[in-house]
Structure 1
């Protein structure tokens, strides 16, 4: 396995700045580069997730993510190695044999990264996977000298692309998911409409987008499940809290935000109902207020579950 490019965390920082502050063309370029980089470190799922969210919030054509013929060739070779995702079907089909010949000429133009990519391609074509991996290690080492190495030229190598899809260029555990999630959150922040609804579903979906987990919203509780919980707890849950549960039955944890318990997990706690794990959030059933106890910040009282989640949303937006 070869080494990964230097400081990939810096790529996210730069890309987020571009997504939030640059013009649309540079946003597209940043997302296109990030998606290609993710695909080249074996994170095809995260690459597809990023592109699909970009499509959803911008409604722009996918061809804008492919600014030149080398990038188009790179995606064609990667798709040949891993299969074409739905979004990739929007790109014009290419003749891979003709593209391979054209790319040999491109590599012959020279330069340290092109020379190493050519060496990796030659070794891979000959079936020398150890030699190809060694050349990719050299490519990764050389790439450290660039803030944004030319990943497209590497991926456009027909016999190297399958190695990239398999994860020959490695990154730290969780990096690809965090990288994609951070950019997705930035995209949603930039392109959020002022008229975006903030009903319960809109609020929870917004939180999950900013966490970088669109689609990970828990399913809703049932009225029967809530009735069972109220009988077990001996209290009637406030209307607002029932509305929350009927939108999503609990919520996953996120960094410093605890996991919100599902209906079947709610427990009595003193004069209220414990709604989080680890303990720290207690719902006062009569008033609907939520008391938050934190060992560092002390005790905070929220007017209700919506107030608590809106504060979480505010902190997520500020973190960008």
Structure 2
């Protein structure tokens, strides 16, 4: 996994904006093409939330455009973040991608002689005089695509295994119309695996949050909660009393995180939102095996989980998976970013 993770994290933290977009887009396609489209969606949603850039920035060229289009067809849906990506003529794109995979590698790399008129003439002559070498990775993909199109799925998976040993490009594989369903279904020819896929998405999400520090970081708790409620068009609750907070800590057998105590002193819980559960009042807090649910039970839940350094905040969602935050404030800042986007 480090081969994909370290360069991608470095790009997200330090590279220019186009390279950040490329790292996020390539990683999302890697995740989706390895059978983990939910992790891909989680990564892209975070990228959109913190950068406020359009989804079109994830499409640096025609191969990526085809990859996203064939991916959505294989999934049978377009995720909510993809509305800005224009639908493509899939029949035409299938033919264009076959032509791309069939094209040999030029004997004289494009641009080697520069952009001068003489350089362009010599390069053009070289293309006519020599057909160039076959690209093994493209050849393996084309063979796998032909087998998948003929319904020979086992043979197609074997051809994908050959492709996986050749420094492969996941966008090029996902752009294959008949291979995309096998990839989305979990063929996982690169052997990413669920544990590594989850870690890859989590590391890039953490890097995005680090690079694009939210404006909400400068808001005090009352301003942060007021902004959340304003965007929700909802009413808040009165602050929890010191007595209620101390009673909760006595009941739990340990102190609550300081920033969560500040949250309760600002508002004693929050009403539910479309994709955010109701946050409990101090008087409702109970511990379950050391873990403290701070929201109602449901498809989405928020928990305080004890760790050696104190607490972490865990948000579980039946659709989006599990996210971990270092502090409760970080969770609320992310919720505000999503509301603002």
Q: Flag whether TM exceeds 0.5 (same fold).
A: yes
Alpha-carbon distance change, 242 to 116 in structure 1, aligned in 2, over 3 angstroms: same
Counterpart in the other structure of 2:45: 52
Alpha-carbon distance change, 279 to 62 in structure 1, aligned in 2, over 3 angstroms: closer
Alpha-carbon distance change, 163 to 56 in structure 1, aligned in 2, over 3 angstroms: same
Residue deviations 1:156-215 (CA, integer Å, cap 9, x gap): 110000001001013233111111111111111111146623646999xxxxxxxxxxxx
Give me the whole-angstrom Cα distance separating, in 2, the residues matched to 1:188 and 1:280.
21
Contact 2:101 2:142 survives alignment (8 Å) = yes
1:131 equivalent in alignment to 2:155: yes
TM-score when scaled to structure 1? 0.64
Moved >2 Å (runs of 4+) = 193-203, 226-229, 231-250, 258-263, 275-282
Contact 1:40 1:164 survives alignment (8 Å) = yes
Give me the whole-angstrom Cα distance separating, in 1, the residues matched to 2:65 and 2:147.
23
Alpha-carbon distance change, 201 to 123 in structure 1, aligned in 2, over 3 angstroms: farther
Q: CA deviation at 1:73?
A: 0.5
Counterpart in the other structure of 2:193: 172
Q: How many pairs align?
A: 242
Alignment counterpart, residue 84 of structure 1, candidates 78, 102, 108: 78
Matches within 5 A, 1:244-255: 244=263, 246=268
Q: CA deviation at 1:92?
A: 1.1
Give me the whole-angstrom Cα distance separating, in 1, the residues matched to 2:215 and 2:31.
31
Give me the whole-angstrom Cα distance separating, in 2, the residues matched to 1:157 and 1:236.
55
* Gap runs ≥5 in structure 2: 104-133, 225-236, 270-278, 295-303, 312-325, 332-341
Counterpart secondary structure, 2:83: helix
Give me the whole-angstrom Cα distance separating, in 1, the residues matched to 2:42 and 2:15.
22
Counterpart in the other structure of 2:177: 158
Give me the whole-angstrom Cα distance separating, in 2, the residues matched to 1:21 and 1:228.
42
Counterpart in the other structure of 1:33: 26
Q: CA deviation at 1:46?
A: 0.7
Q: CA deviation at 1:139?
A: 1.1
Alignment counterpart, residue 64 of structure 1, candidates 57, 60, 80: 57
1:230 equivalent in alignment to 2:247: yes
Alignment counterpart, residue 17 of structure 1, candidates 10, 14, 27: 10
Matches within 5 A, 1:70-109: 70-82=63-75, 83-109=77-103
Contact 2:64 2:171 survives alignment (8 Å) = yes
Residue deviations 1:271-306 (CA, integer Å, cap 9, x gap): xxxx97579969xxxxxxxxxxxxxxxxxxxxxxxx
Q: CA RMSD in A?
A: 4.1
Alpha-carbon distance change, 107 to 194 in structure 1, aligned in 2, over 3 angstroms: same
Q: CA deviation at 1:35?
A: 0.9
Residue deviations 1:256-282 (CA, integer Å, cap 9, x gap): xx966458xxxxxxxxxxx97579969
Q: CA deviation at 1:135?
A: 0.6
Residue deviations 1:120-174 (CA, integer Å, cap 9, x gap): 101100100100110111111222xxxxx32111111100000010010132331
* Gap runs ≥5 in structure 1: 1-7, 144-148, 204-219, 253-257, 264-274, 283-307, 314-320
